[in-house]
Structure 1
Amino acid sequence: MRRILLISAVIALAVAGCTGTPRNAEGGRPATVGGVPTSAGTHKQKLDVGTFGHREYLLHVPAKVSGGRWRDGRPADPPALVVALHGGLATMGQMEKLTGFDRLSDEKGFLGAYPDGFMTTWNAGDCCGPAKVGDIDDVGFLAELIDRLTGAGLADPRRVYVTGFSNGAGMAYRMACERPGKIAAIGVVEGALVTECHPDRPVSAMIFHGTADENVPYHGGGRRDFNDGRPFPPASRAVAFWRRVAGLPAKGEKIKTSVSQARCESSGADGVAVAFCTVDGGTHRWPPGASAVLWDFFAAHPRAR
């Protein structure tokens, strides 16, 4: 009889140990927070945005979130969040590989999110494709994604950064135009500002553009979409716009960069900066080394309180 009671007690203790919040090995952190996994690696996630179906994104969590310090089921010091938007006719998985942000995430400790566009496109205003034609609320989707991660305490709301390539770069511009209060800085690579823009506060920006880009020409030109023959504006127009919003000098000072063939200049004040990197001979591609330069720029520019 005593043996049966002893076995029962052991089983009861084992069950009790399994019924609480699942926890990872590191620092006793929970396995999920607000339904979002916290274990190291890349996780495919779904997000209900209140419309038919759902939207998806990849979330890369570094091995050491908050330096391994957790308190009350939340990171003691929530990390930064970098949201990376793929180009047209691409996917979240391709953007993850293109940027190499996962390696930087593991090294620097920020969260990396790679959302999927609608039928491989983003509604960046006058571009592009199915997302534009369907008037998809991509601003709402990305805002909800940011809110989910910051609201759960997994990311620092003052250090949210959005970067993108091509159509995704145009979407980064649109987010800064319509949700500047959610974003500290944007990183634009081979994209154009093709949406009405009336931000109520300045946003830091780093803009890369190749002089030999034939898809989104450096000096402007081409056509905005399959059903819109208007030319893209020159890259310099967006630079001038964001500097004007921030009250910055129109001409920046030269800064060093590790990106090959890139000439960068930046102007900044009161914690806001706009940097413009011209890639001599650069085509419509993500410049090697640009991700590390973008992260350094992001890290230096949290959102002003």
Structure 2
Amino acid sequence: MRRIVLVALAAVLVLAGCTEKPGEKGKEGGRPAKVDGISTSEGTHKQKIKVGTPGHREFLLHVPAKLADGKWADGKPADPPALVIALHGGLANMGKMEDLTGFDELSDEHGFLAAYPDGFMTTWNAGDCCGAAKIGDIDDVGFLTKLIDKLTGAGLADPKRVYVTGFSNGAGMAYRMACEKPDKVAGIGVVEGALVTECDPGRPVSAMIFHGTADRNVPFNGGGDRDFNDKRPFPPVSRAVDFWRKVAGLPEPRNRVKALSGDTDCASTGKGDRGVAVAFCKINGGTHRWPDEASAMLWDFFADHPRRT
């Protein structure tokens, strides 16, 4: 009886030694199950990341089939894809941003990674806005920087093709990332947001800005309240457009950009010396919402503006 038990135990140990562990090779094309704790299988995965404070932060990561089924070498994609980070608006969350933007479908079609981080108590510290994240002085720049470093450091994303986009409060956070971490971000996409943070980026960043003329939350021509405890008005969207083009030494945006909707009027500065451009899309009659055409237009813009240096 004892011999039978020992033989059975030995068989179990042999099988255990043959079982693939997370991060080990063994799947098609040499793709590991995980890289640095990040799942590489096709689909959307909930991830956690330590940010140096008690607890952790969370984000959703959508992995397209083109990455999962592509060529891998030494546990990393042979051709790391672009990364699009989409930031939800105030009083929303990462799941709502995933549903709102439809970036998963574009990710599957074009092969980029789509990440949807969760704000602090449904808000982002975008400078002078908003809510709990601002009051708590949450280091959201640090959080998003760690997220970028984790994905690029693991070889899962191309560090020269990292883009941050957002809606409303998330759009303000995209501005802040470009202001404070232009070395990490090749371009930003701003939808119904305002530049309400001190900004001295030191280098240009490509930007595509959408804003509705009938937005009452963040008025097109400025106004409203920056926060529940800050009665200063939001600046007009034109101030942000002018700021980013002047940082890059670009002219006013006059080159027409084809839009998917007749209500959207888009123009671009064209590319400057570093390949940087600023595009502005005015949505005539548009309110405080994510336009149906925004995601596809943002991806086309991002794909055409990698960081050159």
Structure 2: unaligned runs, 5 residues or longer: none
CA distance in 2, matches of 1:115, 1:260: 32
Indicate the larger mover: 246-255 or 195-204: 246-255
Preserved contact between residue 66 and residue 109 of structure 1 (Cα < 8 Å): no
What secondary structure does 1:121 align onto?
coil
Residues 82-231 of structure 1 correspond to what in structure 2 (within 5 A)?
A: 82-231=84-233
Q: Which letter maps to 2:147? A: L
CA distance in 2, matches of 1:290, 1:57: 22
Q: Which letter maps to 2:294? A: A
Percent identity between matched residues is: 71
Distance 1:12 1:118, change over 3 A: closer
Answering whether residue 19 of structure 2 is matched by residue 18 of structure 1, we say yes
What secondary structure does 2:229 align onto?
coil
Indicate the larger mover: 260-269 or 278-287: 260-269
Preserved contact between residue 218 and residue 234 of structure 2 (Cα < 8 Å): yes
What displacement does 1:250 show? 2.4
Distance 1:77 1:226, change over 3 A: same
What displacement does 1:15 show? 3.6
What secondary structure does 1:102 align onto?
helix
Distance 1:46 1:264, change over 3 A: same
What secondary structure does 1:180 align onto?
coil
Provide, for residues 233-268 of structure 1, a one-character-per-residue CA deviation record: whole Å limited to 9, x for no partner.
Answer: 000100000000000012431121113411000012
Structure 1: unaligned runs, 5 residues or longer: none
1:293 alignment partner in structure 2: 297
Two-structure CA RMSD over aligned residues (Å): 1.9
1:259 alignment partner in structure 2: 261
- TM-score normalised over the length of structure 2: 0.93
Distance 1:137 1:28, change over 3 A: same
1:36 is aligned, of 30, 35, 38, to: 38
CA distance in 2, matches of 1:66, 1:30: 10
In the TM superposition, structure 1's runs of 4+ consecutive aligned residues that sit over 2 Å from their partners are 6-17, 19-26
CA distance in 2, matches of 1:197, 1:43: 33
- TM-score normalised over the length of structure 1: 0.94
The number of aligned residues is: 302
